[in-house]
């Protein structure tokens, strides 16, 4: 059959009436109704958008994937994973690979705070405030190791958090617990870059009450990953409370730069 503008117009309106819709039939609807010839004719003569304009028929709207119901369901699932009763944060969602949900929340009209209010959930207090709290705790802990260790807190614009004896750079990471596959409690730290801008990572694993449960002191050269996930039995347990290593690292560094 040779398709003309007239025959395309007639076929489109016949299929539209058959479907009982007031819009342009979609490509899928054409295939399902054995109208692949019509679909090809439309494609080679300008495409669906052109014929939609010619015939004055609106295109079928794509089904919205991130409905309110889906967003709420996925928020609840994330809360179960993290074993929390508040709104998950952006950093928490991205740390478990839920950038899709983070983007959906960010692009929605309600945003994070609006969804928290809608679901009756509290927001987590400022990540910066929280980070500063634990950075200060780590600063005090390091200075307790020896009287000849002094620690500077850096500004938020620095790529690391603490500077020991003006030479050793430390980045402090904090993670809350979450339930992995409904079975085991794990902590996920967003390292964010494979090659660190610090010398040492100090990773603080919190319990459900946001008290320090475990502290990992890991050389940046041993942590060339973007996300660190540790469970109860982790290969990184050898770095637990490795404060003596930290002290020796500073001493070696000072000797090296004093040559």
User: Are 93 and 172 part of one and the same domain?
Assistant: no
- Does pLDDT of 127 surpass 60? no
Residue with tokens 């969804």: 115
pLDDT, residue 131, reads 65
User: Are 251 and 133 part of one and the same domain?
Assistant: yes
- Does pLDDT of 128 surpass 60? no
Lowest mean pLDDT among 7-11, 105-109, 151-155: 105-109
User: Are 131 and 253 part of one and the same domain?
Assistant: yes
Lowest mean pLDDT among 52-61, 130-139, 178-187: 178-187
User: Are 141 and 247 part of one and the same domain?
Assistant: yes
User: Are 132 and 113 part of one and the same domain?
Assistant: no
pLDDT, residue 129, reads 58
Mean local confidence (pLDDT), 74-95: 88
User: Are 101 and 209 part of one and the same domain?
Assistant: no
60 belongs to a structural domain? no
User: Are 112 and 225 part of one and the same domain?
Assistant: no
User: Are 144 and 197 part of one and the same domain?
Assistant: yes
User: Are 162 and 232 part of one and the same domain?
Assistant: yes
User: Are 180 and 200 part of one and the same domain?
Assistant: yes
- Does pLDDT of 251 surpass 80? yes
Mean pLDDT score of the chain, rounded to an integer?
89
User: Are 220 and 248 part of one and the same domain?
Assistant: yes
> With a threshold of 0.85, does the pTM exceed it?
no
pLDDT tens string 210-241: 889 999 999 999 999 988 999 888 999 999 99
Q: Which domain holds residue 231?
A: 127-257
224 belongs to a structural domain? yes
SS (H, E, C) 28-44: HHHHHCCCHHHHHHHHH
pLDDT, residue 2, reads 86
Domain count, the chain: 3
247 belongs to a structural domain? yes
User: Are 13 and 81 part of one and the same domain?
Assistant: no
């Amino acid at each position: 059959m040779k398709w003309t503008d007239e025959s395309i117009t007639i076929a489109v309106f016949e299929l539209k009436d058959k479907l009982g819709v007031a819009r342009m039939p979609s490509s899928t609807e054409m295939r399902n109704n054995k109208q692949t010839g019509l679909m090809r004719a439309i494609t080679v003569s300008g495409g669906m958008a052109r014929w939609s304009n010619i015939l004055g028929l609106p295109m079928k709207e794509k089904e919205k994937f991130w409905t309110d119901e889906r967003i709420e369901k996925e928020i609840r699932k994330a809360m179960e994973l993290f074993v929390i009763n508040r709104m998950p944060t952006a950093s928490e969602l991205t740390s478990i690979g839920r950038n899709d949900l983070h983007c959906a929340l960010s692009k929605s009209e309600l945003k994070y705070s609006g969804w928290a209010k809608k679901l009756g959930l509290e927001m987590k207090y400022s990540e910066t405030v929280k980070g500063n709290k634990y950075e200060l705790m780590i600063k005090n802990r390091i200075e307790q190791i020896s009287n000849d260790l002094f620690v500077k807190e850096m500004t938020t614009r620095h790529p690391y958090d603490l500077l020991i004896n003006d030479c050793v750079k430390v980045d402090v990471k904090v993670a809350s617990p979450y339930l992995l596959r409904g079975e085991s409690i794990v902590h996920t730290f967003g390292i964010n870059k494979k090659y660190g801008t610090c010398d040492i990572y100090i990773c603080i694993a919190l319990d459900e009450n946001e008290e320090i449960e475990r502290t990992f002191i890991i050389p940046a050269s041993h942590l060339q990953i973007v996300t660190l996930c540790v469970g109860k039995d982790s290969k990184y347990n050898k770095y637990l409370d490795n404060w003596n290593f930290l002290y020796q690292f500073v001493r070696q560094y000072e000797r090296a730069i004093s040559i």
